[in-house]
Amino acid sequence: VNEVIDKHARRLQDFAVGELPIAPSFPQVVLMTGATGTVGVMLLHELLQQSDVSMVYVLSRKDKAYLEREFEKRNLEPAILNGRAIFFNYDMKDERLGLSRADYDLVCRTATSIVHCAWKLDFNQSLTSFENDCLFGLEALLKVATRQQLKAFHFVSSISACLNFGHGSIAEDELPNDPTIAATMGYGQSKYVGEKLVSMASRLWSLPVYVHRLGQITAHSSSGLWNNREAIPIMVKTGVMHMGKMPTRDEVITWLPVDVCATAMCDIITHSSHCAGINVFNLVNPHDSTWNQFLGYLRDA
């Protein structure tokens, strides 16, 4: 893990950034990745409802029609995508993100904030498999954050970056220099590396950085819609419908509904002061429950 950090750290250190003004915090022009994901769809919807967000540049491998269908699935009004959302097809492996020079210059010149939600969601791959798809893309976005003006950089991390932290509650602070605190799977390690790189960028370039460290995200609090390809819905469907039983676990859970998570993230993005430095937010449910309580609710349903 440290070798991967060192490799990418050297690349950041070699990137020269002169003295630049910090982008204004109002009105905001947001550059966003990951808008088609579970959290990203809801977050984009929230951002487009804010009067102080004048434009959202959506970097996506999917087209606008795909995102309109995702909105409809969640009972969100797709018409909100018209006007203030501009879509760009992108490539995370490319230093210019696969954008034309004109589009790249436009984004660098006019964006005031970057929200990086996109990440490969695969719990079976090693850390190195996340380099091309995720870590090099993170580097490219950090460089966008330093072009023309310093943009607030919002990195969406995961509690898996510090899952093995064994000293009480996880502080809303930079992670210690101990990669063993990350979950042993490549996904958790890659998020640990990502947090380390954005922290370094903040120190190197006086970049305003915000880490959104997400826990387990669940169904919408009103509609109950939950991506049925995720682990817990699959477990419930298999256990309840096919096996007639569920595993019991003595485990505290701090699950957070996806709409509550998106609202909290939007508040952070739109109310951040754009001051140099790093700010960390652990986005988990403040009201603990337990897995066995969840099984009780499931049984009653």
Buried residues in 116-127 as b, exposed as e (16+ CB within 10 A)? bbbbeeeeeeeb
Q: List pLDDT tens digits, range 72-98.
A: 999 999 999 998 999 999 999 899 999
Sorting pLDDT into bands at 50, 70 and 90, what band is 168?
Answer: low
CATH code: domain 2-217+255-285 is 3.40.50.720
Length of the chain: 301
For the ranges 101-110, 195-204, 222-231, which has the lowest average pLDDT? 222-231
Mean pLDDT of 183-202: 97
Q: Could you state, in order of their start, the residue ranges of all structural domains in the chain? A: 2-217+255-285, 221-253+293-300
Q: List pLDDT tens digits, range 209-265.
A: 999 999 999 999 998 888 888 888 899 889 888 888 898 888 889 999 999 999 999
Greater pLDDT, 172 or 167: 172
For the ranges 113-117, 223-227, 287-291, which has the lowest average pLDDT? 223-227
How is 5-58 classified by DSSP, letter by letter? HHHHHHHHHTS-----PBPPSSSEEEEEE-TTSHHHHHHHHHHHT-TTEEEEEE
- Rounded to whole angstroms, the Cα distance separating 91 from 89 reads 7
Specify the pTM: 0.94
Q: Are 213 and 280 in contact (CB under 8 A)?
A: yes
Q: In the chain, what percentage of residues exceed pLDDT 70?
A: 99
Q: What is the identity of the amino acid at 212?
A: H
